Amino acid sequence: MSENKLERMRKILSKLEDIKNTQESSIDKINHVITDLFQHPDPKLEKVMEDAHQRASDNVDMVREAMNEYQERVNKLTPDE
């Protein structure tokens, strides 16, 4: 296995981690809006935020799964040091 290929794969893993973290940050922000809506209810906005929360959560799950699978592939290609 070429070291260049392994390095590229590790960079992809890093980008996947960044995507996951961004989605998790979005979930936190959505949660803040949902909390604010407890004091100032807006049913339409609440529905949108609930849907956005679910989609972001689904994205985190998908990216995490992809990361785990990709990490396993990287591990198999990494020579024992």
The three-state (H, E, C) secondary structure of the chain, written as one string: CCHHHHHHHHHHHHHHHHHHHHHHHHHHHHHHHHHHHHHCCCHHHHHHHHHHHHHHHHHHHHHHHHHHHHHHHHHHHCCCC
Instruction: Give residue 56's pLDDT.
Output: 96
The predicted pLDDT at position 1 comes to 57
User: What confidence tens digit (pLDDT) does each residue in 35-58 have?
Assistant: 999 999 999 999 999 999 999 999
* pTM of the predicted model as reported, rounded to 2 decimal places: 0.84
